[in-house]
Structure 1
Amino acid sequence: MNKRMFIPPVALPIIVLMLFTFLLLFVLFSGIATAAFAKLGIPPAVALTLFLFSILGSFINIPIAEERAYEPVLQVKRVVFLGIPYPVPYFGWEERRVVIAVNVGGALVPLSIVIYELTRTVLLGEVRLLFNTLLAVVIAVLLSHVFARPVRGLGIAIPMLIPPLVALGLALVLGGSNPPLVAYTSGTMGVLIGADLMNLNKIKTLGASMISIGGAGTFDGIFLAGLIALLLV
């Protein structure tokens, strides 16, 4: 007996609409990313490649370390008194394994861009710009660390608009001849170092089985901080 799958008539238009919306958003975001990276002097083809790497890399987490944590758990033991069993709750300790990983799209891609731009700055001999950029990174790291908060079961969270606004202010003050460089570097590295790396000592209290440095990649605070900062400059 042949079985036919019944698809409601409304399902096909909804699927087509979802695909069209996805393609529209992809074109829109890729155009915005290309325009933003162009301010760093990155060619459109390379910028589009970086955007695609960020999207695909957001699903890739590379494990780099493992931590073991112990947390109290409520347990019940059976106690017999005068022949009558009683359940007695008590707190015991349970070992939990926490994997520390690096997200490709949210950490490695922005880091590679920053390393490339700083290397080019050194080769061009722009010592003052390099000093201002590193100073902006230090300030952004400290401010990101202040606003970052550990979220149990998730990781380290930071308000989305704070890093790009801080990066914008630093670019206007310290940007000199290249505000986009200061904005992108301080925006991305501020979150990566100040929010993620400087809070790794708190991972044992978060209750998550894996902590990903760089988080959700493309739509994570690190990627958005750099992208929004570039667009605002």
Structure 2
Amino acid sequence: MFIFVQVGLVTVAFSKLGLTPGQGFLLLIATLLGSGVNIPVFRSSRLVPDFSLRSVRMFNPHTRMFTAPVQDRALTNQVVAVNFGGCVIPVLLSLSLLSRSGFDFSILICIAVVSAAAYGLARPVPGVGIGIPVLIPPLITVLATLIFVPGDLAPAAAYVAGSLGTLIGADLLHLATPATRKVLDAPVVSIGGAGTFDGIFITGILAVLLA
């Protein structure tokens, strides 16, 4: 982020989307500060392993009591939330860009391509979130944009496909399965937060710059 800000790439990227330098700077600050804000959507209860120490009587020639770990199933709550900086802002900006440039079927194809790639690349990290390589999704986004989207629409299409595609493929499709949420084993699962925030933000910025 320090390098991005120093060379002004973020401002250049937002200017290609039709934003003024002031608007781009405010959007950048809101995104960074918003990355620490998770808005709860719903709460789910599930059973998780709970190891406790209990006294167990072992029958042998010398009957004795042993302390041994016993696995139980404990009921716990898991909150599914949306990250303000990594989900809400990219979605709102994408909708704004689509309303100005018009929705084109080619953009939908790009979103589908990036979503499929992000889904294949993303991996759940227990206790942390979903991790995704930072540089591969932007390159896939740019290739899809150059192939399917004509010239003037390319920057907006690149941001929309890069941001929404990464959000859908890396987070939503993975978090939609209870098995993935069980692997994460975290009290709060954030859509657009944790490991995918960098991927969503940098994919959108780099895709616009390269488009």
TM-score by length of 2: 0.88
User: 1:55-74 CA deviation, whole Å, 9 max, x = no partner?
Assistant: 11111111111122212233
| Distance apart, 1:49 and its partner CA | 1.3
Distance 2:155 2:4 in 1: 24
- 5 Å-filtered alignment, 1:59-78, equals 59-78=36-55
Q: Is 1:182 aligned to 2:157, yes or no?
A: yes
User: Displaced runs of 4+ in structure 1, greater than 3 A?
Assistant: 24-27, 80-83, 216-219
**Contact 2:4 2:10 (C-alpha < 8 Å) held by counterparts:** no
**Contact 1:58 1:217 (C-alpha < 8 Å) held by counterparts:** no
Q: How many residues align?
A: 204
Distance 1:146 1:181 in 2: 24
Q: Secondary structure at the match of 2:23?
A: helix
Please name the residue that 1:117 is paired with.
97
Distance 1:223 1:27 in 2: 13
Distance 1:219 1:136 in 2: 20
- 5 Å-filtered alignment, 1:26-175, equals 27-28=5-6, 31-80=8-57, 84-122=64-102, 130-175=104-149
Distance 2:121 2:44 in 1: 25
Distance 2:69 2:202 in 1: 47
Same amino acid, percent of matched pairs: 38
Where in structure 2 are there 5+ consecutive unaligned residues?
none
Moved more, 207-216 or 188-197: 207-216
User: 1:124-147 CA deviation, whole Å, 9 max, x = no partner?
Assistant: xxx6xx111111111111111111
Q: Secondary structure at the match of 2:146?
A: helix
| Distance apart, 1:100 and its partner CA | 0.9
Distance 1:218 1:87 in 2: 42
**Contact 2:130 2:196 (C-alpha < 8 Å) held by counterparts:** no
**Contact 2:83 2:193 (C-alpha < 8 Å) held by counterparts:** yes
User: 1:83-138 CA deviation, whole Å, 9 max, x = no partner?
Assistant: 6322233221122221111111111111111000111122xxxx6xx111111111
TM-score by length of 1: 0.80
Q: 1:222 aligns with which of 188, 191, 200?
A: 200
**Contact 1:98 1:204 (C-alpha < 8 Å) held by counterparts:** no
**Contact 1:171 1:179 (C-alpha < 8 Å) held by counterparts:** yes
**Contact 2:55 2:66 (C-alpha < 8 Å) held by counterparts:** yes
Where in structure 1 are there 5+ consecutive unaligned residues?
1-21
Distance 1:217 1:160 in 2: 10
Letter in 2 for 1:62: I
Check 1:141–1:219 CA distance in 2 against 1; reply closer, same or farther (3 A cut): closer
Please name the residue that 1:10 is paired with.
none
Larger radius of gyration: 1
Letter in 1 for 2:125: V
**Contact 1:137 1:186 (C-alpha < 8 Å) held by counterparts:** yes
Q: Is 1:196 aligned to 2:171, yes or no?
A: yes
Q: Secondary structure at the match of 1:220?
A: helix
